[in-house]
Amino acid sequence: MDYQLLFAVITGIALLLFLILKLKLQAFLALLIVCIVVGALSGLNPDSILDSITTGMGGTLGFVATVVGLGSLFGAVLEHSGGAQQLAQYLLSKFGIKKAPWSIMLAGFFIAIPVFFDVAFIILIPLIYALQRNTKKSLLLYALPLLAGLAVTHAFIPPTPGPIAVADILGANLGWVIVFGFVTGIPTAAISGPFFAKFISKRIHIDAPYESFEEEKSKTELPSAGTILSIIFLPIFLIVLNTVFTSPLVEDWSIPQPISFLIALLGHPFTALILANIIAWYVLGIRRNVAKEELLKISTKALYPAGVIILLTGAGGAFKQILIDTGIGEGIAASLSSEYFPPVVFGFLVAAIVRVMQGSSTVAMITAAGITSPLLAAADYGEMQLAILVIAIAAGASIFSHVNDSGFWLVKQYLGLTEKQTFKTWSVLTTLIAATGLVVSTTLWYLV
């Protein structure tokens, strides 16, 4: 690899971490600055640098902005309807108190598909408090499975922003990302959730806070759990159906053209999420006598956090394009061509390093995807392998949440833990997610 290009990429990554960690610069601005610096150090002229940034931003945002925006709208209506609490209560009633950690994990797993991690956690924490007061067992027995379910889905399963962004940067098929997200996510959530919670809750006993947390009571009847699950899984089903029908698995089937057209149209992430939004707007809003003005207010508010994620993802796309246009990507690919160091491990390690150093899993995913993307041109990887690579990067970006991650303090505050206890519980849980995700994704990489 050219030493000038090697120096450029090392300097760029070091500068990115300095800007975010030391100067506390917003990651969007930091990534754009690093794009310019890496381009200049690599020998690109100013016009080429800015063209690369424009191309990378535009190519990424065309897909990601739409999906993240639609996903945010969908989640906001679900949250407002009270459907998250209803689904959790339904699963608890079906599993019973003895299996409450498993039902809570599943509730977190499903709810985090349309609802952001921190929002879903805050919505469901009163239920966790009530369980602890009822059983007198450690709060960790119920809280950690919830956190595992939320964290795994947030990292692995679209339409959450992280895997959406990585899939777009790597050119992975979203349907396969969903499939392998579930395949990897279920055992990962089980190991880092109920199994770990059972172990650690015997060693650390935490009681629920004494303060009373009153849940807002809806004036109308809450939607049924079946309705909530149907609406959540509708876009997932359509996207996966489209993926299956356009794969070699069914190439010998004689599918009528009108049916192929309908599946292709409804199974695109844009159309699937638009349809889910319309159904949620009517079933969870209009039919429950929520005013149209209130629904508009909820939807508008939901787009504010989406804007930050969209811009950050665009900057990640620009960084990827700079690495490709400077030739740095080809150099990295050549130096990592050994079969003993596959992209699935490389992507995991890059994401893990960035995550531990600067805290944000989204920044870690996007940075790792940008650096890993040029490796893919050196070999002909199939759609399944690209999807597995997305999961591996997401696993790396989940590792060892600590004091530089806002999630660390959120968990500490709501569970009433000390810093030391938070390291022993939440930090270990996120590391288990990363380790299990790496093992499963690496195994799948060699099987498909």
Q: Where are the domains of the chain?
A: 3-447
pLDDT at residue 150 is higher than 90:
yes
Nearest Cα residue to 87 out of 239, 233, 305, 212: 233
> Tell me, what's the pLDDT at 307?
83
Q: Is the pLDDT confidence value at 291 over 60?
A: yes
> Would the CA dihedral through 59, 65, 70, 72 be positive or negative?
positive
Helix locations, 157-195, DSSP H: 161-170, 174-190
75: pLDDT strictly greater than 60: yes
Average pLDDT on 113-142 reads: 91
In the DSSP assignment, the letter for residue 400 is -
Q: How far is CA 104 from CA 121, 172, 328, in A?
A: 11, 31, 45
Highest mean predicted confidence (pLDDT) among 73-77, 185-189, 312-316, 411-415 = 185-189
Amino acid symbol at 69? G
Work out the pLDDT band at 216, boundaries 50, 70, 90.
Answer: very low
Which pLDDT tens digit goes with each residue over 323-379? 888 877 666 655 654 555 788 999 999 899 888 877 889 888 988 898 888 878 767
Contact criterion met (CB below 8 Å) for 367 and 350:
yes
Whether 317 has a pLDDT exceeding 90, the answer reads: no
Is 60 exceeded by the pLDDT of residue 271?
yes
DSSP assigned state of 99: G
Percent of the chain exceeding pLDDT 90 equals: 54
pLDDT in tens, 431-444: 999 999 999 999 99
Question: What integer best gives the mean pLDDT of the chain?
Answer: 88
For tokens 């191309």, the residue is 55
Higher pLDDT, 119 or 176: 176
Query: How high is the pLDDT of residue 212?
Result: 44
In the numeric block, the tokens 């459907």 are attached to 83
Better pLDDT: 329 or 247: 247
Residue type at 289? N
**pLDDT cut 70: percent of the chain above it:** 94
User: Which residue has 């060892």 as its token pair?
Assistant: 400
Section 401-407 average pLDDT: 84
Per-residue pLDDT at 230 exceeds 60: yes
Q: Would you list the DSSP string of 188-244?
A: HHHIIIIIHHHHHHTT---PPPSS--PPPPPSSPPPPHHHHHHHHHHHHHHHHHHHH
Return the higher-pLDDT residue of 6 and 299. 299
Find the mean pLDDT for residues 220-238. Answer: 89
Cα(21)–Cα(273) distance, integer angstroms: 36
Query: Over 70: is that where the pLDDT of 217 sits?
Result: no
d(CA 207, CA 186): 28
- Above 60 in pLDDT, residue 188? yes
Please report the pLDDT score of residue 365 as a whole number: 93
Instruction: Show Cβ contacts of residue 429 under 8 Å, excluding neighbours closer than 6 positions.
Output: 144, 147, 148, 151, 192, 193, 196
Question: Is the pLDDT reported for residue 96 higher than 50?
Answer: yes
Q: Residue 289 pLDDT more than 70?
A: yes
Instruction: Say if residue 400's pLDDT is above 70.
Output: yes
Above 80 in pLDDT, residue 105?
yes
pLDDT for the residue numbered 3: 77
Say if residues 337 and 57 touch (Cβ distance below 8 Å).
no
Phi first, then psi, for residue 267 (nearest 5°) are: -85, -5
State the pLDDT at residue 265. 95
| Gap between the Cα atoms of 254 and 210, Å rounded | 64
Taking residues 228-250, report their average pLDDT: 88
The DSSP result for 288-339, as a single string, is GT--HHHHHHHHHHHHHHHHHHHHHHHHHHHHHHHHHHHTHHHHHHHHT--T
Amino acid 204: pLDDT? 97
Spatial CA neighbour of 57 closest among 174, 168, 175, 163: 168
What local confidence, expressed as pLDDT, does residue 292 receive?
93
Please give the Cα distance from 109 to 347 (Å, whole number): 24
